[in-house]
Structure 1
Amino acid sequence: MNSHDPFTLAFSLILSGDPGLFGIIQLSLQVSLSAVFVASLIGLPLGAAIALFRFPGRGLVITLLNALMGLPPVVAGLLVYLSLSRAGPLGQFGLLFTPTAMVIAQTLLVLPIIAALTRQAIEDLWEEYREQLQSMGSGRVRAIPTLLWDARITLTTAVLAGFGRASAEVGAVLIVGGNIEGVTRVMTTAIALETSKGDLPLALALGLVLLTLVAAVNATAYLLGQMSRSRMQ
């Protein structure tokens, strides 16, 4: 393996702390973590509320929520693009081709995952502890924080699944971010661009970092799942 081998150069970029490489990684993490944070703030209580309350059209809402878990990223990107473009309802804020637009797009992708998984987890717990909670005078609204806390390991796995979806996504952020160097270029869009340009060392370096990140998320989710099953035994 010589010094011009793409893998050798890729590892060199990582080990040397290349500013361009780590700038892309930093922005990627900022966008994905922000999207997961916002999606969790909305999705956790939303999923719990859908689980506990009965209302007209609830079955349709659950079906739609489950369907949106597989929302194609390019469709999410298109919807956000239309909303943030000059002719769109939010065009006056000038958010298109900014990290904020990318956060919005990723939130749209992650929210259904967190909400749907939360709904299932809380619904199962409510069936198990409903009589006990009601005997303590805890209604459905007051039961939400208790159930969310009791399901924290399962819900952490749901949040990690959302982060995995966000960090590996390329279509939506490319549409609404524009892949602008130093502004909206994240790992997935940079890999696509650098590969097309023939800059394999940078693409490989970013790919190795992204693969490591996704592997770490999956390993954490697996361990949490094992812990949750151990508690139930």
Structure 2
Amino acid sequence: MQDFLQAARSALALVASLDLEFIGIVGLSLGVSLSASVIAMLIGAPFGGVLAVARFPGRQAIIVLANALLGLPPVVVGLTIYLLLSRSGPLGFAGLLFTPAAMIIAQVVLTTPIVTALVHRLAAVLWSEYADLMRIDGLSKAHSIGQLFVIGRSFLLTAFLAAFGRAIAEVGAILMVGGNIRGFTRTMTTAIALETGKGELPLALGLGLVLIVISVLVSAAAFLLSAWADSR
């Protein structure tokens, strides 16, 4: 118990001191996760809107697949991307393995299904309410999707926060493709795993505290947005 209290005090002192390495790890984590979440939104939101509005062969199978991919194992994603980006892989020429770019790619793969599934579910509800009105106005499918996004802009933010929450907590995939290189690809989650294994609890606890605060804030924001949307 005494050791834990000492480690906790050291962790709080580390957070308060704004250590450069500590700040660098937090900054990289936020940068990678935010970038991945934005890219996932750019890919997943329009696709989810199309699935809600359009009718085409294989649509239902794609919806089922998008929801099934919500449980995609991170280590499998990491292994697949590792093989693609390794020197002997088809994308090895790009030299992206063990870089922040590879970590962003891994997180995009993991978060895009989340965005697609959430946007589809919520856009489908709005489409059932406004479809007739939009058809009367003569709106195209693309314009209809755009109008749904304007009407339900709160669910877009909810989808973004859900994707960011998934990305910021990821460890398995980014550890495999990023390599946990100090000062270059070390994020909060990979650093926590490494420092805990080394017995360096102050840094691990300090990063864990910051990660918990970020996760709680993201979850609270998503909950409040959902409650606000339901009350409208």
Letter in 2 for 1:212: V
Q: What residue ranges of structure 2 are gaps of 5+ in the alignment? A: none
The amino acid that maps onto 2:128 is: E
Cα displacement (A) at 1:22: 0.8
Q: CA deviation at 1:149?
A: 1.4
Residue 43 of structure 1 aligns with which residue?
Answer: 44
Is 1:115 aligned to residue 113 of structure 2? no
Q: Aligned ranges for residues 202-213 of structure 1 at < 5 Å?
A: 202-213=203-214
**Deviation digits for residues 83-118 of structure 1 (CA, Å, limit 9, x no counterpart):** 111121111000000000000000000000001111
Within 5 Å, which residues of 2 pair with 1:101-180?
101-180=102-181
Separation in structure 1 between the aligned mates of residue 141 and residue 124 of structure 2, nearest angstrom: 11
Deviation at 1:150, TM superposition (A): 1.1
The secondary structure found in structure 1 opposite 2:71 is: coil
TM-score by length of 2: 0.97
Deviations, residues 29-52 of structure 1 (Å, cap 9, x unaligned): 000000001000111101101111
SS for the counterpart of 1:217 is helix
How far is 1:139 from its partner? 2.3
Aligned length: 231
- 1:54 is paired with a residue of what secondary structure? coil
For 1:5, what is the secondary structure of its paired residue? Answer: helix
Match of 1:108, as an amino acid? V
Matched letter for residue 181 of structure 1: R
TM-score where L is the length of structure 1: 0.96
In structure 2, the partner of 1:62 is 63
Q: State how far apart, in whole Å, the 1-side matches of 2:69 and 2:23 are.
A: 32
Matched, 1:189 2:190: yes
Distance 1:75 1:149 in 2: 36
Counterpart for residue 219 of structure 1: 220
* 5+ residue gaps, structure 1: none
Provide runs of 4+ in structure 1 moved above 3 Å: none
Q: Secondary structure, in 3 states, of the residue corresponding to 2:126?
A: helix
Bigger drift between 104-113 and 146-155 goes to 146-155
Shift of 1:53: 1.1
